[in-house]
Structure 1
Amino acid sequence: MTSGVVLKLLVCSLIGALTHGVRGGDPYLFFTWNVTYGTISPLGVPQQVILINGEFPGPDINSTTNNNIVVNVFNNLDEPFLFTWSGIQQRKNSWQDGMPGTNCPIAPGTNYTYQFQVKDQIGSYIYYPSTAMHKAAGGFGGLKVHSRPLIPIPYEEPADDYTVLIGDWYTKSHKELKGFLDSGRPLGRPEGVLINGKACKVGVKQEPMFTMEPGKTYKYRVCNVGLKASLNFRIQGHKMKLVEMEGSHTIQNVYESLDVHIGQCFTVLVTADQAPKSYYIVASTRFLKEVKTSTAIVSYTNGEGEAEAEASPELPPAPVGWGWSLNQFRTFRWNLTASAARPNPQGSYHYGAINITRTIKLVNSVSRANGKLRYGFNGVSHTDPATPLKLAEYFNMADKVFKYDVMKDEAENTTTDLTVEPNVVNMTFRNFVEIIFENQEKSMQSYQVNGYSFFAVGIEPGTWSPEKRMHYNLLDAVSRHTIQVFPKSWAAILLTFDNAGMWNIRSAKWERAYLGQQLYASILSPEKSLRDEYNIPENTQLCGIVKGLPKLPSYS
C-alpha cells in the first residue's frame, strides 16, 4: 500500500470518527481492494470472473465485535459497481449499505471508501456485488466477526477457523445472464456447484482444501453465496455441531447434513475423531430436477504431513424432499444463555410479549406481460431509479424520484400485469412489525432483510391467517437476517424497525431481485439526531438529480 493511500485512509478514519461519533477505543481495520476481471475455468470452461486483489473468491474480512472496517474499493471493471455487506446491520448507517437504493455506484476507473462498524455483532457473514448480475461472476467473500476476548463463547476455542463458500454456478458470463433477464428469459438451471471457487468430482485427484489434526475440533463457517439453488452441506464420516447462524449462538444440536439456503451462513464445529485419512466435503443442489454436486477434500495430518489414505468414493447421501428441510428448521433454537454481543438487546429475550403494531403480508408476484418476465411483491415490481432513494429522501426530493407506499400491506395482485416502479414502504420508527412471506409458487424461496436481524418465528405449509400466530415460537426463535419459504408455504418474522435509514428487503435469489422482487423500507427518525442516524459521510458520491448539490447541515 502506498504512503498516499495510507494517508487517505487515515484521513477517512478521522472524518468517520468525527462524523459518525465512533468511540475512539474501537480499533480500525483498513483494506484496499482492486476489483478486476480475470479468466478462470471453475467448471472446465474458461470464463470471465470478478477478482478482488486477484483472488476468487475474494479475501476474508477478519474482524472483532465493534471494529471499524474501512474498505477502499478501486473499480477497474467496465461497469458501475457496488458491494453490499449481507447481515452487517450498520446501526444508524444505511449510507454504507452498498445497495443501488442507498448508494451511487462506483464508476469505472474510480474508487470509493466504505466505512462501517460491526457494532454489537458476532458471527459469520458474506459480502457480494449488488449491481446488475455481477454476483454471477464472483466478487464475493466471507466476513467474520469474532467475539471480544472478554466475552466467552459457549464452546472451546477451535484449533482453526475455516470459511466455506458454497454456491451454484453458471458458465455463461454475467453480461450474458443479464441479457437473458433483460430480454425476458429466465436464467435456467445452474451448470454446477462451487466450493470456495472450485468444482471437483469424486475420484479426481485434488489437493486438500482443509486439514485437521486428530483429536482436535475445527470451526467451519458455511455460507451459500449462489444465485438460485438451496444446497445441502455435509462432511463424509463426520458429525457437525451447529453453534451459530447469522449472528446468533444456537442450541448446539448435532447434524449429519445441513440445508443452506441462498444468503444463509451456518457455523459448525467438526471434531477430527475418525481414522486419519482424507474425507470429502460435499455440497449438492436441493429442490432442482437435476442434482449438481461438488466436493472438496479435508485431510487429516499427523504433524508430518497430510494423511496418505484417499477419501472413499462413496459419498454420504443427501436428504430427499422439502419436508425434511422444514423439520430441520424447526430444530433451530436461539441459545439464550450464551454471552454475546446483540444488535438489539432491548426485548431480545421477551419479543413474544411485544404488541405487534403492523402486519405486512408479502406475496410473491410474477408476470410475463409483453413477453418479459418480472417478479415483485403484492403486485409491485421494484426498479432502481437513477437517483438512489436514500439520497432523494435526504435532499427532500423524494417526490421527484418515487412515491411512498405504492404497495399495499395485503396482496391485491400477484399474477396479472405488475406495476413497475420504485417500491418504498414508509415504516414508523421503532414500531414492532410482523412480516409474512407467502410463497404461492411451487419453487423454493429465500429472503433477506438488510440493516436488521429479525426473529424467525414460524414456517408452515399453506396460506397464512391470523390464527397461525398460535403456532409461533415466541420464546427462542433464532435472531437472523434470512428466511427460507418452502413451496406453497409461508414464513413469519418479527422485528422492531429501530434502525433509521433506507433498508432493502429482497429475494435472495438474485434473478428475482434483479427483476423486481425487492422493496425498500424507509425508517425516518422524527428527532433527526445523531442518536438515531449518522450524518451523511463526507465522501458520499452524488448522482442523478442530486449530483452537484451541496450537502445539508449536519445533525448535532
Structure 2
Amino acid sequence: MNKPIVSFVLLLLFSCNLVHGEDPYINYEWKVTYGTLSPLGVPQQVILINGEFPGPKINCTSNNNIVVNVVNQLDEPFLITWKGIQQRKNSWQDGTLGTNCPIPPGKNFTYRFQVKDQIGSYYYHPTTALHRAVGGYGPLTIHSRALIPVPFNPPADDFTVLVSDWYAKTHKTLKGLLDTGRSLGRPDGIVINGKSGKGDGKDAPMFTLVKGKTYRFRFCNVGMKDTINVRFQGHTMKLVEMEGSHTVQNMYEMLDLHLGQCLSVLINADQNPKDYYLVATSRFTKESHFATATLRYVNGVGGAAPLEKKEAPKGWEWSLNQFNSFRWNLTASSARPNPQGSYHYGQINITRTIRLVSTDGVVNGKQRYAINGVSHTDPETPIKLAQYYGVADKVFKYGLCKDEYMPPNGNEVITIAPNVVNVTYRNFVEIIFENHEKSVQSWQLDGFNFFADRTGEMRQNYNLLDAVSRSTIQVYPNSWAAIMTTFDNAGVWNLRSNALEKQYLGHQLYLSVNAPNTSLKDEYNMPDNELLCGIINGLPRPKPYAI
C-alpha cells in the first residue's frame, strides 16, 4: 500500500472516530455534611456540599456528560434532583423519591446524566425530608456550544444569584412541625447566595463591575414559600433567557421570580463608579422581608445610596401583566429539546386535557394538600423501581387522580396514597392548573419543557406562537394556568409544587410515560449502581432492555 492511500485510510478512520466519539465528561466528587453558618446573622445548622453553601457550581456546555459522586455524610437518607435538566430517556437519575432510593448515611451514589440539547440557568437541590430548607442546593449552568450563536455579545462576567426565603430553624425542627400537623409559618428572612445584607453599607461586595462593561446575572428562586422580586439599584435589566429558552429582550426595572424559577438578565455598568445594591424582596405577604447584596465598581468612590422605598405594586395583577410580556425569541439559534413542538406547537392537536385542581384538608387531625383529591405519599419502594421489577400492583394504583375533578363544597375527601398518572408516549397534552387558594402557586415538571401559556384566559386566547418553553409555571390566586407539552421522554417523572410545605404534605404526583416497546431506543436500562430498597431489595435484576 503506498503512502497516499495509507494517509487517506488514517484520515478516514480519524474522521469516523470524531463523528462517533462521545461528548466530553465532567466529573465531580461531593461530600454532603452538616455545618454551622449564620445566613440571617444567628448561628444555625446548614447542609454543606464540599464545605460550601451554596454548593459547588456545575459549569458545563450543551451535550456534556455529567458525573457526580454524592457521598452522604449526614445522619439521614439524602437525594438530590437536577431542577430543569430533562434527563432524556433517563429518569433513573432524576433524584426524587418516586424514582430513586435515597442514599443511606455513610453511603454514596454516582449520578450520570447528559445535558442533551439544553442551555441555560438551572440549579440542584435536595428532595428528601425538609433538607432544602437548610441548604444542599447550588447552581447548574449550561453554556451554548461554540458553533451555536447566542443572541447577545459575550458578557464581561457571568454571575449566579440564588435567592431564597429562609427559616432560622433546623430542618428537623421544621419537619417536626409538619409531622405533628402544624404549619411552618412565615419565613424569618431572605438570603442571597446564603447571605442577608441589610442595605447598611457594612457588607463586603458580592459582585465587582468595571464601568462600561456588560454583565450577565443568572437568578433562581430556590426558596420554600415566597415569590421574590429582584432589582438593581440604579440599573435596568435586559431579560435574555428563562430556564433554557432565549427570550425577546425586553427591559425591566424589577422582576418577579416565583418559586423554582430561573432567568438571566444583562445589566450595563453605565453608572457613576461606586457601590450599588442588588435588592431581593418577598412578595404577596403581609410582612415583607428584604435582603441586599453589594455591587462594587472597580476604582469606585463612595458607598451605595440609602435604599429608596421602591417596590412592585401591591396585588398580583402587575405580576400577571409582567408574565404576559415574556416571549420566546424564535429568531435565536439554540439547543431545543422536544423538537416536535419547538417552532409550531400551536399547530399540534391536543390529544388529552388533564385538569388539576388543588385542594387541602385535615386528615386524622393533620393538614394535607391534594391534587384532584389525592394527597401524594412516597412508597417505601420507588414507583420507577416497582415498575421495572414488575411489582407495581403491590406498591401503587394507577388512576386515583382523574383527568376531570370537581372539588366538593366544604366536604373534601382526601385520599393519601402514591399519586401516579399514566400518560401515552409522545402524545401532545394540555395540563390546566386550577388554584382556588389565596396565595400564588408554582409548579415544576421534571423530564420535559412545556409551553407556558398566559394564565387566567379562555382557551381561544392562548398564545400559540411564542410562549416561552420552560419547566415551571406560576398560578395566581383564584385563577388557572395552562401548559402544553409532548410526552416524548419515557420514564417516571415528578410534577410537584415548588412550595416545600405543600409538596411535603402531598402536593405532587408522578407521570408514568411508558414507551410501547421496552427498548434502549426509548429508555435506558437501570444503572448498575442503582440503590435498591423496599420490597425489591435483594431481588435479582430484571432482564435488561434490548436495542
TM > 0.5: yes
Provide the aligned C-alpha RMSD in A. 1.1
Count of residues paired in the alignment? 525
2:9 aligned residue: none
**In 2, Cα distance between equivalents of 1:517 and 1:529:** 32
Query: Which of residues 41, 44, 60 is equivalent to 2:41?
Result: 44
The Cα shift of 1:555 comes to 1.7
CA spacing shift, 1:299–1:23, aligned 2, 3 Å? farther
2:512 to 509, 522, 540: 522
> For 1:163-201, what per-residue CA distance to the aligned partner results, in whole angstroms no more than 9, with x for missing partners?
000010000110010011111111111000000000111
Q: Distance in 2 between matches of 1:498 and 1:142?
A: 27
Distance 1:23 1:526, change over 3 A: farther
Q: How far is the alpha carbon of 1:209 from its aligned partner?
A: 0.2
- How do 1:66-215 and structure 2 match up within 5 A? 66-215=63-212
Picking from 453, 457, 469, the partner of 2:453 is 457
Task: Give the Cα–Cα distance (whole angstroms) in 1 for the partners of residues 517 and 474 of structure 2.
Answer: 36
Does residue 314 in structure 1 map to residue 310 in structure 2? no
**1:437 aligned partner:** 433
Identify the residue that residue 549 of structure 1 maps to in structure 2.
539
User: Any idea what the Cα deviations from partners look like across 1:209-257, whole Å, max 9, x if unmatched?
Assistant: 0011000000000000000000000000001000000010000001000
In structure 1, the partner of 2:347 is 353
How far, CA to CA, are the matches of 1:85 and 1:316 in structure 2?
A: 37
Distance 2:169 2:535 in 1: 35
1:323 maps onto 2:317 in alignment: yes
Query: After the TM superposition, which residues 230-379 of structure 1 pair with which residues of structure 2 at under 5 Å, given as runs?
Result: 230-302=227-299, 307-315=300-308, 317-320=310-313, 321-379=315-373
**In structure 2, what is the Cα distance between the partners aligned to 1:214 and 1:233?**
22
Q: Is the 8 A contact 1:234 1:316 kept in 2?
A: no
Alpha-carbon deviation of 1:204?
4.2
**What are the superposed Cα offsets for residues 458-482 of structure 1, whole Å, 9 maximum, x if unpaired?**
2017xxxxxx211100000000000
For residues 452 and 252 of structure 2, what CA distance do their matches in structure 1 show?
A: 20
- Contact 1:437-1:485 at 8 Å conserved across structures: yes
Superposed structure 1 runs of 4+ greater than 4 Å apart: none
Q: CA deviation at 1:316?
A: 5.8
* 2:443 maps to which of 411, 435, 447: 447
Return the letter of the residue paired with 2:301: E
Q: Give the whole-Å Cα distance in 2 for the aligned partners of 1:346 and 1:155.
A: 26
User: How much identity, in percent, do the aligned residues show?
Assistant: 65
One-letter amino acid matched to 1:341? A
Deviation at 1:156, TM superposition (A): 0.1
1:422 corresponds in structure 2 to 418
Equivalent position of 1:397 in the other structure:
391
Question: 1:363 & 1:308 partners in 2: Cα distance?
Answer: 55
Which residue of structure 1 aligns with residue 467 of structure 2? 477
Which aligned pairs between 1:405-416 and structure 2 lie closer than 5 A? 405-413=399-407, 416=412
Q: Say whether the 8 Å CA contact 1:163–1:222 is kept in structure 2.
A: yes
Q: Deviations over 1:356-388 (max 9, x none)?
A: 111011111100133210001011000000000
Given residue 238 of structure 1, which amino acid in structure 2 is its aligned partner? H
Contact (CA 8 Å) 1:368, 1:417: kept in 2 or not?
no
Q: Which residue of 1 aligns with 2:490?
A: 500
CA gap 1:24/1:549 in 2 versus in 1, 3 angstroms: farther
Mark the runs of 5 or more structure 1 residues left unpaired by the alignment. 1-21, 462-467
**When the two structures are superposed, what TM-score results if normalisation uses the length of structure 2?**
0.95
- 3-state DSSP of counterpart to 1:390: helix
Please give the per-residue CA displacement for 1:240-284, whole angstroms capped at 9, x wherever unaligned: 000000010000001000000000001000110111111000000
Q: Secondary structure at the match of 1:373?
A: strand
Structure 2 SS opposite 1:186: coil
TM-score by length of 1: 0.93
- Cα pair 2:201 2:304 within 8 Å, conserved: no
Offset, 1:315: 3.4
Return the alpha-carbon distance in structure 1 between the equivalents of residues 60 and 308 of structure 2.
Answer: 35
Match of 2:8 in 1: none
Determine the C-alpha separation between the residues in 2 that align with 1:185 and 1:110. Answer: 33
What CA distance in whole angstroms lies between the structure 2 residues aligned with 1:53 and 1:406?
42
Name the residue aligned to 1:9: none
Match of 1:464? Answer: none
TM superposition shift of 1:314: 2.4
Q: What CA distance in whole angstroms lies between the structure 1 residues aligned with 2:150 and 2:199?
A: 36
Gaps of 5+ in 2: 1-18
Q: Which of 221, 225, 230 does residue 228 from structure 1 map onto? A: 225
| Separation in 2, partners of 1:308, 1:174 | 42
**What is the distance in 2 between the residues matched to 1:359 and 1:444?**
23
Whole-angstrom CA distance in 1 between matches of 2:520 and 2:22: 19
Quick one: which amino acid aligns to residue 443 of structure 1?
S
Distance 1:517 1:325 in 2: 24
